[in-house]
Amino acid sequence: MTTRTWFITGASRGIGLELARAALAAGQRVAATARRGATVAQALGDHEALLPLDLDVTDREQIAAAVATAHERFGGIDVLVNNAGYGQLGLFEETTEAEVRAQFDTNVFGLFEVTRAVLPSMRARRRGHVINVSSIGGIVGAASGSVYCASKFAVEGFSASLADEVRELGIQVTVVGPGFIRTDFLDPRSVRFAQAGIADYAALSARLRDYYGERNHRQAGDPARLAEAILTLAAAAQPPQRFCAGSDAVAMLEARLAQLREELDDWRDLSLSVDGEWEDAAR
């Protein structure tokens, strides 16, 4: 595997930590960031090829400083992995405006700003790979995921569009959509549940919290195996624009594709009827 420099956000635990560990084991150089970079160093130990950095992705000054430090240490960034994020779960009407904005500030605008900081050097060198960690929730919505899924749908749309914008500059973009991965994503210190209770939703809210609680640390997806898969994607000559990660994600995506195909076929005539005759005024 060609030695590259990786810049990974949200690397103190979960997918980001496992990816940093796997990259180091594969002989890669890694700038691993977290709100407290010291937690990365504690988790991974002392590596000459590791650069732990403080980075809150909602802080533009920290983003600029972290990217600059990575460039100074390693001479550039070859692979950017936008992994930092969290889940804001809960029914939409029970979620406050502040909770919605905080979710998008991290999952969407934070990702945007880190990408904006890294792209100029990739453009200058005419090479690079941006890997955005989304979720199966970026394609398939679900009750209690209205805000979280909306943020991941945004990441999906951004990634697909960015891929078309930078392809001719030698930069590749891949969005990774995991299903349920066995991390602490559903731990109280990670996930955030809507706090504004509404009586009409009480029973559904309780069922959904129980559902997630029962699956905490019992998810099928293995974060170490996902990390190895991401290494494989980064090494591919022609990586996919979107990668579905995990058997549950594959099943949900297949069901969503079937639903879209069925609805497209059922309503095709009405869809086509929207076109009308028109005369080109320039002729």
Which position among 148, 159, 201, 205 bears the catalytic label? Answer: 148
Phi, psi for 25 (deg, rounded to 5): -65, -25
Going 190 to 136 to 180 to 200, the CA torsion angle's sign is: positive
Helices (H) and strands (E) in the chain, counts: 10, 9
Query: Is 151 an annotated catalytic residue?
Result: no
192, 29 contact by CB (below 8 A): no
**Percent helix, strand, coil in the chain (nearest 5)?**
55, 15, 30
- Tokens representing 198 are 């509404």
- Nearest-10 Cα torsion for 248, 249, 251, 256: 140
Q: In DSSP terms, which residues pair with 8 in a beta bridge?
A: 32, 81
Query: Is 86 an annotated catalytic residue?
Result: no
Which position among 12, 134, 151, 205 bears the catalytic label? Answer: 134
- Which amino acid would we find at residue 209? R
Query: Is 134 an annotated catalytic residue?
Result: yes
Which position among 151, 152, 159, 201 bears the catalytic label? Answer: 152
| Residues designated catalytic | 134, 148, 152
